[in-house]
Chains A and B, each alone.
Chain A
Protein backbone atom coordinates (compact mmCIF):
# COMPACT_ATOMS: atom_id res chain seq x y z
CA UNK A 1 0.00 0.00 0.00
CA UNK A 2 2.99 2.29 0.42
CA UNK A 3 3.81 2.33 -3.30
CA UNK A 4 0.72 4.20 -4.40
CA UNK A 5 0.97 6.93 -7.02
CA UNK A 6 -1.93 9.13 -6.02
CA UNK A 7 -1.04 12.55 -7.47
CA UNK A 8 -3.50 14.66 -5.45
CA UNK A 9 -1.86 17.53 -3.51
CA UNK A 10 -2.77 16.05 -0.11
CA UNK A 11 -1.38 12.61 -1.06
CA UNK A 12 1.90 14.34 -1.93
CA UNK A 13 1.91 16.19 1.40
CA UNK A 14 1.28 12.96 3.30
CA UNK A 15 4.19 11.25 1.46
CA UNK A 16 6.38 14.28 2.22
CA UNK A 17 5.63 14.12 5.95
CA UNK A 18 6.20 10.36 5.97
CA UNK A 19 9.62 10.90 4.41
CA UNK A 20 10.54 13.52 7.03
CA UNK A 21 9.40 11.25 9.88
CA UNK A 22 11.31 8.30 8.43
CA UNK A 23 14.45 10.43 8.19
CA UNK A 24 14.05 11.38 11.86
CA UNK A 25 13.61 7.72 12.80
CA UNK A 26 10.04 8.27 14.01
CA UNK A 27 8.44 6.17 11.33
CA UNK A 28 9.49 2.86 9.85
CA UNK A 29 7.96 2.03 6.45
CA UNK A 30 7.64 -1.66 7.33
CA UNK A 31 5.84 -0.71 10.57
CA UNK A 32 3.44 1.42 8.56
CA UNK A 33 2.75 -1.50 6.23
CA UNK A 34 2.22 -3.79 9.22
CA UNK A 35 -0.37 -1.43 10.70
CA UNK A 36 -2.14 -1.24 7.34
CA UNK A 37 -2.04 -5.01 6.90
CA UNK A 38 -3.42 -5.65 10.37
CA UNK A 39 -6.12 -3.11 9.76
CA UNK A 40 -7.07 -4.52 6.38
CA UNK A 41 -7.21 -8.17 7.46
CA UNK A 42 -8.14 -8.27 11.12
CA UNK A 43 -10.59 -5.38 11.55
CA UNK A 44 -13.80 -6.45 9.81
CA UNK A 45 -17.53 -6.45 10.51
CA UNK A 46 -17.37 -10.20 9.79
CA UNK A 47 -16.02 -10.49 13.35
CA UNK A 48 -19.11 -8.81 14.74
CA UNK A 49 -21.36 -11.00 12.58
CA UNK A 50 -19.75 -14.16 14.04
CA UNK A 51 -20.19 -12.89 17.60
CA UNK A 52 -23.89 -12.22 17.06
CA UNK A 53 -24.53 -15.57 15.35
CA UNK A 54 -22.84 -17.41 18.24
CA UNK A 55 -24.92 -15.44 20.76
CA UNK A 56 -28.08 -16.41 18.85
CA UNK A 57 -27.35 -20.15 19.00
CA UNK A 58 -25.55 -20.42 22.35
CA UNK A 59 -27.35 -19.01 25.40
CA UNK A 60 -24.34 -19.55 27.65
CA UNK A 61 -22.11 -17.52 25.32
CA UNK A 62 -24.79 -14.86 25.03
CA UNK A 63 -24.97 -14.52 28.83
CA UNK A 64 -21.16 -14.30 29.12
CA UNK A 65 -21.04 -11.75 26.29
CA UNK A 66 -23.58 -9.48 27.94
CA UNK A 67 -21.92 -9.88 31.33
CA UNK A 68 -18.28 -9.32 30.28
CA UNK A 69 -17.74 -9.04 26.54
CA UNK A 70 -13.95 -8.71 26.79
CA UNK A 71 -13.77 -12.06 28.60
CA UNK A 72 -16.17 -13.76 26.14
CA UNK A 73 -14.59 -12.63 22.84
CA UNK A 74 -11.52 -14.93 23.10
CA UNK A 75 -13.92 -17.90 22.84
CA UNK A 76 -14.14 -16.89 19.15
CA UNK A 77 -10.47 -15.98 18.86
CA UNK A 78 -11.30 -12.27 19.02
CA UNK A 79 -10.27 -9.41 21.31
CA UNK A 80 -10.57 -5.65 21.73
CA UNK A 81 -6.78 -5.28 21.79
CA UNK A 82 -6.22 -4.57 18.08
CA UNK A 83 -5.91 -0.83 18.56
CA UNK A 84 -3.63 1.35 20.65
CA UNK A 85 -4.94 -0.03 23.92
CA UNK A 86 -7.38 -2.71 25.04
CA UNK A 87 -10.80 -1.11 25.09
CA UNK A 88 -13.71 -2.21 27.18
CA UNK A 89 -16.60 -3.48 25.08
CA UNK A 90 -20.20 -3.21 26.21
CA UNK A 91 -22.57 -5.46 24.30
CA UNK A 92 -26.07 -4.01 24.49
CA UNK A 93 -28.70 -6.39 23.19
CA UNK A 94 -31.91 -5.49 21.38
CA UNK A 95 -35.05 -7.10 22.77
CA UNK A 96 -38.75 -6.97 22.02
CA UNK A 97 -39.02 -3.85 24.16
CA UNK A 98 -35.63 -2.14 23.84
CA UNK A 99 -33.68 -0.93 20.81
CA UNK A 100 -30.08 0.24 21.25
CA UNK A 101 -28.16 2.64 19.03
CA UNK A 102 -24.53 3.76 19.24
CA UNK A 103 -22.95 7.13 18.57
CA UNK A 104 -19.85 9.11 19.49
CA UNK A 105 -21.03 12.72 19.67
CA UNK A 106 -17.54 14.15 20.35
CA UNK A 107 -15.51 12.39 17.66
CA UNK A 108 -15.81 8.95 16.08
CA UNK A 109 -15.19 6.24 18.72
CA UNK A 110 -16.15 2.87 17.26
CA UNK A 111 -15.29 -0.81 17.90
CA UNK A 112 -12.88 -1.10 14.95
CA UNK A 113 -11.67 -4.62 15.68
CA UNK A 114 -15.22 -6.02 15.55
CA UNK A 115 -16.87 -3.74 12.99
CA UNK A 116 -13.97 -2.69 10.74
CA UNK A 117 -13.37 0.93 9.71
CA UNK A 118 -16.40 3.09 10.42
CA UNK A 119 -18.56 4.43 7.59
CA UNK A 120 -18.41 8.15 6.82
CA UNK A 121 -22.01 8.68 7.96
CA UNK A 122 -21.09 7.45 11.47
CA UNK A 123 -18.42 10.17 11.64
CA UNK A 124 -20.67 12.87 10.14
CA UNK A 125 -22.03 15.76 12.23
CA UNK A 126 -25.46 15.03 10.71
CA UNK A 127 -25.60 11.63 12.49
CA UNK A 128 -23.68 12.58 15.63
CA UNK A 129 -25.72 15.71 16.35
CA UNK A 130 -29.15 14.26 15.75
CA UNK A 131 -29.29 10.60 16.80
CA UNK A 132 -28.73 11.57 20.43
CA UNK A 133 -31.66 14.02 20.53
CA UNK A 134 -34.00 12.61 17.83
CA UNK A 135 -33.18 8.90 17.45
CA UNK A 136 -36.56 7.92 15.98
CA UNK A 137 -36.23 10.51 13.22
CA UNK A 138 -32.68 9.41 12.40
CA UNK A 139 -33.57 5.71 12.40
CA UNK A 140 -36.40 6.54 9.97
CA UNK A 141 -33.76 8.02 7.65
CA UNK A 142 -32.13 4.58 7.69
CA UNK A 143 -35.48 3.00 6.85
CA UNK A 144 -35.97 1.64 10.35
CA UNK A 145 -39.36 2.39 11.89
CA UNK A 146 -39.74 1.19 15.46
CA UNK A 147 -43.07 0.64 17.23
CA UNK A 148 -43.99 3.52 19.53
CA UNK A 149 -43.82 1.10 22.43
CA UNK A 150 -40.14 0.28 21.83
CA UNK A 151 -37.83 2.06 24.26
CA UNK A 152 -34.74 3.51 22.58
CA UNK A 153 -31.45 3.49 24.47
CA UNK A 154 -28.75 5.72 22.94
CA UNK A 155 -25.15 5.00 23.99
CA UNK A 156 -22.70 7.89 23.56
CA UNK A 157 -19.24 6.30 23.30
CA UNK A 158 -17.75 9.53 24.63
CA UNK A 159 -14.86 8.06 26.65
CA UNK A 160 -12.84 4.83 26.74
CA UNK A 161 -15.52 2.15 26.21
CA UNK A 162 -16.91 0.88 22.94
CA UNK A 163 -20.31 -0.64 22.15
CA UNK A 164 -21.83 -3.26 19.90
CA UNK A 165 -25.52 -4.07 19.39
CA UNK A 166 -26.62 -7.68 18.82
CA UNK A 167 -29.83 -7.33 16.79
CA UNK A 168 -32.84 -9.53 17.46
CA UNK A 169 -32.70 -12.88 15.72
CA UNK A 170 -35.08 -12.81 12.73
CA UNK A 171 -38.07 -15.10 12.89
CA UNK A 172 -38.10 -18.24 10.77
CA UNK A 173 -34.35 -18.85 11.17
CA UNK A 174 -34.57 -21.83 13.51
CA UNK A 175 -33.06 -24.26 11.04
CA UNK A 176 -30.07 -22.13 10.09
CA UNK A 177 -26.50 -22.83 11.14
CA UNK A 178 -24.11 -20.32 12.64
CA UNK A 179 -22.49 -19.33 9.33
CA UNK A 180 -25.86 -18.80 7.67
CA UNK A 181 -27.03 -16.72 10.62
CA UNK A 182 -23.85 -14.61 10.50
CA UNK A 183 -24.63 -13.85 6.85
CA UNK A 184 -27.94 -12.25 7.88
CA UNK A 185 -26.29 -9.62 10.11
CA UNK A 186 -25.31 -6.21 8.72
CA UNK A 187 -22.80 -3.61 9.86
CA UNK A 188 -25.61 -1.12 10.46
CA UNK A 189 -27.40 -3.74 12.55
CA UNK A 190 -24.39 -3.85 14.89
CA UNK A 191 -24.55 -0.05 15.29
CA UNK A 192 -28.31 -0.09 15.77
CA UNK A 193 -29.33 1.72 12.58
CA UNK A 194 -30.81 -1.43 11.01
CA UNK A 195 -33.09 -4.13 12.41
CA UNK A 196 -30.57 -6.95 11.73
Chain B
Protein backbone atom coordinates (compact mmCIF):
# COMPACT_ATOMS: atom_id res chain seq x y z
CA UNK B 1 0.00 0.00 0.00
CA UNK B 2 1.48 3.36 -1.00
CA UNK B 3 1.84 6.00 1.66
CA UNK B 4 0.38 9.36 0.85
CA UNK B 5 2.40 11.18 3.50
CA UNK B 6 6.03 11.03 4.50
CA UNK B 7 7.88 11.84 7.69
CA UNK B 8 8.13 15.60 8.06
CA UNK B 9 4.93 16.35 6.12
CA UNK B 10 2.50 18.78 7.71
CA UNK B 11 -1.08 17.45 7.79
CA UNK B 12 -4.45 18.78 8.91
CA UNK B 13 -6.93 16.60 10.78
CA UNK B 14 -10.59 16.34 9.89
CA UNK B 15 -13.14 18.54 11.66
CA UNK B 16 -15.93 16.04 11.09
CA UNK B 17 -17.83 14.98 14.21
CA UNK B 18 -19.01 11.54 13.11
CA UNK B 19 -22.15 9.90 14.51
CA UNK B 20 -20.31 6.57 14.77
CA UNK B 21 -17.23 5.05 16.42
CA UNK B 22 -13.97 6.80 15.51
CA UNK B 23 -10.36 6.89 16.72
CA UNK B 24 -9.76 10.56 15.98
CA UNK B 25 -10.26 12.17 19.40
CA UNK B 26 -12.23 15.39 19.60
CA UNK B 27 -9.25 17.35 20.99
CA UNK B 28 -7.16 16.54 17.90
CA UNK B 29 -9.74 17.54 15.27
CA UNK B 30 -9.12 20.44 12.91
CA UNK B 31 -5.46 20.88 13.86
CA UNK B 32 -2.18 20.84 11.97
CA UNK B 33 0.52 18.38 13.01
CA UNK B 34 3.69 16.80 11.66
CA UNK B 35 4.01 13.21 10.47
CA UNK B 36 6.77 11.61 12.55
CA UNK B 37 6.47 8.07 11.24
CA UNK B 38 4.42 5.32 9.69
CA UNK B 39 2.36 3.16 12.04
CA UNK B 40 1.48 0.30 9.74
CA UNK B 41 -1.65 -0.63 7.81
CA UNK B 42 -4.77 -1.47 9.81
CA UNK B 43 -8.50 -1.78 9.13
CA UNK B 44 -10.07 1.67 9.53
CA UNK B 45 -11.68 1.49 12.98
CA UNK B 46 -14.70 3.61 11.99
CA UNK B 47 -15.75 0.99 9.41
CA UNK B 48 -14.53 -2.06 11.32
CA UNK B 49 -16.94 -1.07 14.11
CA UNK B 50 -19.69 -1.46 11.50
CA UNK B 51 -18.36 -4.86 10.42
CA UNK B 52 -16.58 -3.59 7.27
CA UNK B 53 -12.84 -4.23 6.94
CA UNK B 54 -10.95 -1.61 4.90
CA UNK B 55 -7.19 -1.65 5.63
CA UNK B 56 -5.59 1.77 5.43
CA UNK B 57 -2.26 3.42 6.25
CA UNK B 58 -1.87 4.79 9.80
CA UNK B 59 0.60 7.59 10.62
CA UNK B 60 2.19 8.82 13.81
CA UNK B 61 1.35 12.52 13.91
CA UNK B 62 2.79 14.96 16.45
CA UNK B 63 1.05 18.14 17.59
CA UNK B 64 2.20 20.93 19.86
CA UNK B 65 0.05 21.37 22.96
CA UNK B 66 -0.18 25.06 22.21
CA UNK B 67 -1.84 24.29 18.88
CA UNK B 68 -4.22 21.74 20.41
CA UNK B 69 -5.16 23.44 23.67
CA UNK B 70 -3.89 27.01 23.40
CA UNK B 71 -1.38 26.39 26.21
CA UNK B 72 1.36 24.03 27.33
CA UNK B 73 4.93 23.40 26.19
CA UNK B 74 4.59 19.65 25.54
CA UNK B 75 3.83 17.63 22.42
CA UNK B 76 1.13 15.03 21.87
CA UNK B 77 1.58 12.19 19.37
CA UNK B 78 -1.32 10.10 18.03
CA UNK B 79 -1.80 7.29 15.52
CA UNK B 80 -4.11 8.56 12.78
CA UNK B 81 -5.61 6.77 9.80
CA UNK B 82 -5.07 8.44 6.40
CA UNK B 83 -8.86 8.94 6.25
CA UNK B 84 -8.58 11.53 9.06
CA UNK B 85 -5.87 13.60 7.32
CA UNK B 86 -5.58 16.11 4.50
CA UNK B 87 -2.76 18.30 3.20
CA UNK B 88 -2.08 21.35 5.33
Contact = CB atoms under 8 A, between A and B. Distances in A.
Most B-side CB within 10 Å, residue of A133, A134, A152, A153: A133
Most A-side CB within 10 Å, residue of B40, B42, B69, B77: B77
Nearest to B59: A159
A155 B36 CA distance: 12
Contacts of B69: 133
Nearest to A132: B76
Contacts of A132: 27, 76
B25 A156 contact: yes
Interface string A148-170: 00011111111111000000000
B35 interface: no
Contact of A160 (B25, B27, B39): B39
B74 interface: yes
Nearest to B77: A155
A161 B25 contact: no
Given A156-B25, A158-B79, A160-B79, A135 B74 contact: yes
Interface of A: 88, 105-106, 132-136, 151-161
Given A154-B75, A159-B45, 15 more contacts: A106-B25, A133-B65, A151-B73, A151-B75, A152-B73, A152-B74, A153-B77, A154-B65, A154-B74, A156-B78, A158-B79, A159-B39, A160-B40, A160-B42, A160-B79
